[in-house]
């Protein structure tokens, strides 16, 4: 009986001690928890890939940044239009990164997740715009001409930029 009282007293003591040492819940400032964002256009994936390409990432890292593009198809250009303004898109570094992103997004029709992203309407529109605006770099113009043909049937070969 005394053992039961001792155990009961110990449990009461532990719970009282635990209640005394409770602290106010830790609150995080609003900026610390990112808002839930609907990323239906894969903007974060494309932005990461563009940044990776522009900083000249290595081939070991490429898998994490480039492979996800293969499932996007035309969605890649929608995302780029949400990332860059018209003037930002024609900055040579951004245009070169865009070309690489498109090549990878249109390398395999069977990998594209959304059926509507198989039709390259937005990509062809952006490529035509770049072709009309971006005439100073023959290499980029050659890439744009290539892409205008290969995005239609997903025969663009992935190309490394690093």
**Residue 17: band (very low, low, confident or very high) from pLDDT cuts 50, 70, 90:** very low
**Comparing 128 with 35, which gets the higher pLDDT?**
128
Token pair belonging to 81: 């239009």
Tens-digit pLDDT profile for residues 126-142: 999 998 886 677 888 89
Report the percent of the chain where pLDDT is more than 70. 72
Predicted TM-score (pTM) of this structure: 0.72
Percentage with pLDDT > 90 across the chain: 54
**Which class for 105: exposed (0-12), middle (13-18), buried (19 or more C-beta within 10 A)?**
buried
51, pLDDT greater than 60? yes
pLDDT value of position 28? 45
Evaluate if residue 39 carries a pLDDT over 70.
yes
Question: Using CA of residue 55, residue 50, residue 57, residue 103, what is the dihedral sign?
Answer: negative
């Amino acid at each position: 009986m005394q053992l039961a009282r001792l155990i009961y007293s110990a449990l009461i003591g532990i719970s009282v001690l635990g209640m005394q040492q409770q602290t106010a819940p830790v609150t995080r400032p609003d900026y610390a928890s990112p808002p839930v964002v609907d990323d239906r256009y894969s903007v974060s994936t494309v932005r990461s890939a563009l940044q990776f390409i522009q900083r000249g990432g290595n081939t070991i890292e490429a898998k994490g940044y480039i492979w996800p593009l293969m499932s996007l198809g035309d969605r890649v250009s929608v995302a780029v239009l949400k990332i860059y303004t018209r003037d930002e898109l024609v900055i040579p570094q951004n245009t070169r990164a865009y070309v690489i992103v498109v090549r990878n997004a249109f390398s395999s029709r069977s990998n594209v997740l959304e059926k509507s992203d198989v039709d390259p309407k937005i990509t062809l529109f952006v490529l035509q715009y770049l072709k009309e605006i971006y005439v100073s770099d023959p290499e980029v113009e050659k890439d744009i001409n290539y892409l205008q043909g290969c995005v239609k049937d997903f025969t663009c070969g992935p190309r490394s930029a690093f």
